[in-house]
Every structure is written in C-alpha cells, then in structure tokens.
Amino acid sequence: MSRLQTLILVVSFILSDVSGTKDTCDPVCENADTFTADPYDCNSYFYCITPGTPSGPYLCPDGEIFDSTVKPNHDDYKKPCKKDTSPPCKAICETPTCQIVCKNTLDVIVDPMDCHVFYVCVPNENGSLKPHRDECPSDRPNFNGADCTSHEEDCCDVCNPSCVGKDYGETIPDPADCHKYFTCLGDGDNNVPGDCPAGHYDIETNDCAQGLDCINLCDNSTTTAVPITTLAPNNTLWKLESVN
C-alpha cells in the first residue's frame, strides 16, 4: 500500500471518528427525576427531567463536587454535592481546544466562519500542510474542536475572544486585528488589550513577532475563508477575504 493510500485511510478514519454516531460526552439521563454528572466538570451536574432530557448544568458550591449517591428530594431539597476528594476529581471528558492552525499532520482544525465545518490537516507534496474540508452531519451539526455535537453552544466561536480556562498572563489573539492581542487576568472573560507596535501577533507562538504584514483571523465584513501557507512550511492559517 502506498503512502498516499495509507494517508487516505487514516484521514477517512479520523473523519468517521469526528462525525461518528453519537455525542460521547453528553450528560447521560437514563431515568427521570435523577441527577447525573457533567462529563466536562466535576463541580457541576445535571437534573434529568425525563430519560434523555437533562437540565443544567448546575454548579456545586466552591470546593465541592457532584455526589452521585444523592437522589432528588422535593420535600427537602439538597444539592447533590460533597467535599472534593484527594486526589482531586478529574472530569470524564476534557473541554476541547479550538485549534485554528495546522501544526502537525492529521490535526483537526476549525473554520473560523462556519461552525458546521472542520478540516483535517494533510501534507502537500512540497511538505507543507493543507486542510481537507468536511462537514458535520445534520443531526450533530456543531463542531466543538474535537467532535460534532447536537448542541449549538458547543460551537468553536473563535471570532469572539474569551479568557475562560486561561491562566493569568496568558495571551489570546484579537480576531479582528492581527496586530493586537488580549492578556488574560485569570478570572474568566476579563482581559487587558495590547498591541504589537513593531510587528504582528503570531497565533502559533501566542506572542508578538516581527513583520507588519499579517492576516486577520476574523473580519467584521462578510468574508470567505481561504487556506494559505505561512512562512513556516508545516503550518497553515486562514486568509479571510472580503466578499463584495
């Protein structure tokens, strides 16, 4: 089997895995009037209204995690929470990262302008990477950075900068201006704007780099996304061109 044939098989496997048959990290409601864990967060939980119908998530108090042994008591309501364990609880699923740059072969990246589309990074003959386009299925149309899901809120919204999950001092790009960035303060969405006066913000290194020429990640006007290769031969980013 040739290298190309092998690569095609691998890409096909990744595409089928990403757009598989179910949301593997959905909260599981097998019975009505029960509590169930939040697969992404030990500190929160869901209430099952009916089988397959979760409501939430709801947060436990600080320092507490979901307690699966607690059952709903409508006469004496009590949150299904307990003190965190040692070692600390680890969530079943990790929140996906919305990757926007091809760094390695078979990386899966988002389309900044379309939540229903994702790309698998495959090599060109010259050694650079190009994105292979695919779409999520109609019953799970939203790409969250790792899988296709049925939840619109899972969309990778890379055009609205967020510091959620970022530590103090981490920087994120300004999607509307590639010469600017935001410094996160470690408390959620709060950030401090900054700029690279003698260069541009490099989305690969998350730092300022030399050269004033750069490409905005997103644009306020109607745009179309066209993949182009950067100076580094094994990286791809999105060139957003205005559509008249």
Whole-prediction pTM? 0.54
Mean pLDDT confidence for 25-47:
90
Least confident of 5-9, 22-26, 53-57: 5-9
User: What does the block give as tokens for 67?
Assistant: 């307690």
Cα dist from 26 to 32, 69, 209, whole Å: 16, 20, 40
Q: Measured between alpha carbons, how far is 46 from 35 in angstroms, rounded to an integer?
A: 6
pLDDT reported for residue 159: 83
User: What does the block give as tokens for 111?
Assistant: 């389309």
Q: Measured between alpha carbons, how far is 54 from 16 in angstroms, rounded to an integer?
A: 27
Mean pLDDT confidence for 123-149:
88
142-143 and 129-135 as β-strands: parallel, antiparallel, unpaired? unpaired
Query: Using one digit for the tens of pLDDT, what is the confidence trace for 46-88?
Result: 999 999 899 988 999 988 999 999 999 888 888 999 998 778 8
pLDDT reported for residue 67: 93
129-135 and 41-50 as β-strands: parallel, antiparallel, unpaired? unpaired
For residue 89, which of 54, 55, 47, 38 has the smallest C-alpha distance? Answer: 38
| E runs forming strands in the chain | 34-38, 41-50, 53-59, 64-66, 81-83, 108-111, 114-123, 129-135, 142-143, 148-149, 171-173, 180-184, 191-195, 199-202, 207-210, 223-229, 236-242
Give me the torsion for CA of 176, 171, 167, 109, rounded to 10°.
60
Query: Using one digit for the tens of pLDDT, what is the confidence trace for 144-153?
Result: 888 888 878 7
Least confident of 112-116, 132-136, 233-237: 233-237
If 0-12 CB within 10 Å is exposed, 13-18 middle and 19+ buried, where does residue 59 land?
Answer: middle
pLDDT reported for residue 33: 94
Buried b (16+ CB within 10 A) or exposed e, 34-53: bbbbbbebbbbbbbbeeeee
